[in-house]
Structure 1
Amino acid sequence: MDKVVMVGVFDFVNFHVCKALLDKGIEVRGVQIESEEDEDMIIEKRLEIGRNANFTEVSFGDITKDKNKNETIVLSVYDLYMRYKEEYLLNEDMLFNLIRKNQWEKVAILVPSQLLNEVIDSKPEVIIEDFIKRTYAWNKNIHLLYLPTIYGPWQPDTFMFQSSILNERNRGKPYKGLREETGDALFVHDTAQFILEIIENQQPGRYLLHSGKSNQWEKCAAFLGIDEQESNPILQIREEGITKIIVNSTVPISVGLTKQVEHANRLYSE
């Protein structure tokens, strides 16, 4: 995997995957899906990776015109879902055709773990499920990675953790409601590394990334002082065809969340 196209490069999980790719010396072309995020935040992210000679920011048009057989494409539907932007998946001229038309070496799609529920009945999840089915109908050689709650620096305020942190500073926006899965939680730096390993070294297939521990989300919430009765766990997982991958923690929950708090404090104190 020498060259990668990141679709939604400045979104939360994808941004950390991009940085991990660049750290390995892999060439990345990044395209950003339209975002309502504060332009100052996008500028901050550009400063983090823009000076790397292996990174180029491009447009959808640039990607669509290419027929590079040696590139891998990574699309984070997970980030779209957590930004309440899953309806972009309905745009045939954008994401689906981008994946379908180009002759990619590998295709990797990150999705929320709730899609493993036996029953899919909410509109956002139906949209994602339909997108995945259409994509598989075209090409079954896809790395489909299911992610639980991911936490760490740059987490959007649509997650309960970041919303709570910003509310402590009176910088929070009205909370839209619990979308992330509350059965598990992974630190974003560790998750990005495992995503790379799976794409590079594992066969195409369906992978669930998890901590291998119980009550990780609740432990994170407790560390942040969140006393919340809402929950959004996977009720009954569809096990068939799923490979479970334990993401080994490199830092305790307290360290990972402290990094997130300190990062948020730095961003919102400027």
Structure 2
Amino acid sequence: MDKVIMIGTFEFLGFHFTKKMLEEGMEVVGVHFNKEKKESYLIEEKRLQIGRNANFLEEKFNSFNGEGFESAPLIVDYYDFFMREDEEQLVALIENQLLLQNREKIIFLLPLSIFNKEFKDNRNNLEKLISSVKKQNQFVQEFFLPTVYGPWQSEAFLFQQTFVKKRDEWKLTAREWTADALYVEDVVANILKLMEQDEKRYILKNAVSAAWKKCAKFLEIEEVPVRTIDRGDDGCEVIVHQATSFEMGLIKQKNIIETLGM
């Protein structure tokens, strides 16, 4: 794999995937969507880190047709759009975009919390989209993820809120998976390897039990009940052995915030 298209290149996961793939010498087309003005400075900071790499090409979603990258795998960061309650925009745009047609491989980054019963409609819409994509492409992989934390995490997550908001402003939503958590660099490293495998559906899980609670304890978050969330059992469960400790991962997350003066 020497060329990749990353949809959502300036999202939390999308940025980390883009950065890692560039470090490994891949050519990456980073496809992005317009963000709210209050978030635009974050895009500029991320652009400074990857935009000068000769292997990086930045494109807007509504104007990129995939020319020159016809056989390149395509990664869709649905996960971050879901976390900030903007997934319907992504689905609508993808449904009207030829970019996802006739590709050898498409990878979806997805939240485990979408199996929560209150997101039944969201899940049905996602399944329809993926089913449609599968009819047009040779190989589609799905990666389901718990809470992912680390530098550049969005304020949709409680961990990030503890660094940038007052305690009485913290808000844990049903979209955040409280049964498990993974550090973002561990997620990226494992998925890039798994993309070379033949399984079509993966569920990533931390080798350390109660990972979300351990992170919450370090951040002095008061006891939060772990929600019982029903999920489908189909999918290859992947145990992720963390290369970065909870404490170090959260410290790195905080350091980015302090550096940016957020």
In structure 1, the gaps of 5 or more residues are: none
In the alignment, structure 1 residue 202 sits paired with structure 2 residue 197 = yes
Compared with structure 1, are the counterparts of its residues 176 and 148 closer, same or farther at alpha carbon in structure 2 (3 Å cutoff)? closer
SS of the aligned residue for 1:150 comes to: strand
Question: Alpha-carbon deviations, 1:141-160, whole Å to 9, x = none?
Answer: 20111011000000000101
Aligned pairs (5 A) from 1:29-178: 29-36=29-36, 38-64=39-65, 66=67, 68-91=69-92, 94-98=93-97, 102-116=101-115, 119=117, 121-139=119-137, 141-168=139-166, 175=171, 177-178=173-174
How much does 1:231 deviate? Answer: 4.0
2:249 corresponding residue in structure 1? 256
2:13 alignment partner AA: V
1:246 alignment partner AA: I
In structure 2, the gaps of 5 or more residues are: none
1:26 corresponding residue in structure 2? 26
SS of the aligned residue for 1:203 comes to: coil
Contact 2:31/2:61, CA 8 A, preserved across alignment: yes
Contact 2:10/2:43, CA 8 A, preserved across alignment: yes
How much does 1:54 deviate? Answer: 0.6
How much does 1:16 deviate? Answer: 0.3
Contact 1:115/1:129, CA 8 A, preserved across alignment: no
Question: Alpha-carbon deviations, 1:239-268, whole Å to 9, x = none?
Answer: 12x111122211211110111111112222
Identity of aligned residues (%): 34
CA distance in structure 1 between the aligned counterparts of 2:45 and 2:254, rounded to whole angstroms: 17
Contact 2:205/2:240, CA 8 A, preserved across alignment: yes
CA distance in structure 2 between the aligned counterparts of 1:18 and 1:116, rounded to whole angstroms: 27
TM-score by length of 1: 0.87
In the alignment, structure 1 residue 239 sits paired with structure 2 residue 242 = no
1:157 alignment partner AA: E
1:247 alignment partner AA: V
Identify which of 217, 220, 239 aligns with 2:215.
Answer: 220
CA distance in structure 1 between the aligned counterparts of 2:169 and 2:35, rounded to whole angstroms: 16
TM-score by length of 2: 0.89
Contact 1:72/1:107, CA 8 A, preserved across alignment: yes
SS of the aligned residue for 1:63 comes to: coil
Q: How many residues align?
A: 261
SS of the aligned residue for 2:106 comes to: strand
Contact 1:182/1:232, CA 8 A, preserved across alignment: yes
Contact 2:101/2:137, CA 8 A, preserved across alignment: no
How much does 1:129 deviate? Answer: 3.2
The answer to which of 69-78 and 99-108 deviates more is 99-108
Cα-Cα RMSD = 2.4
SS of the aligned residue for 1:70 comes to: coil
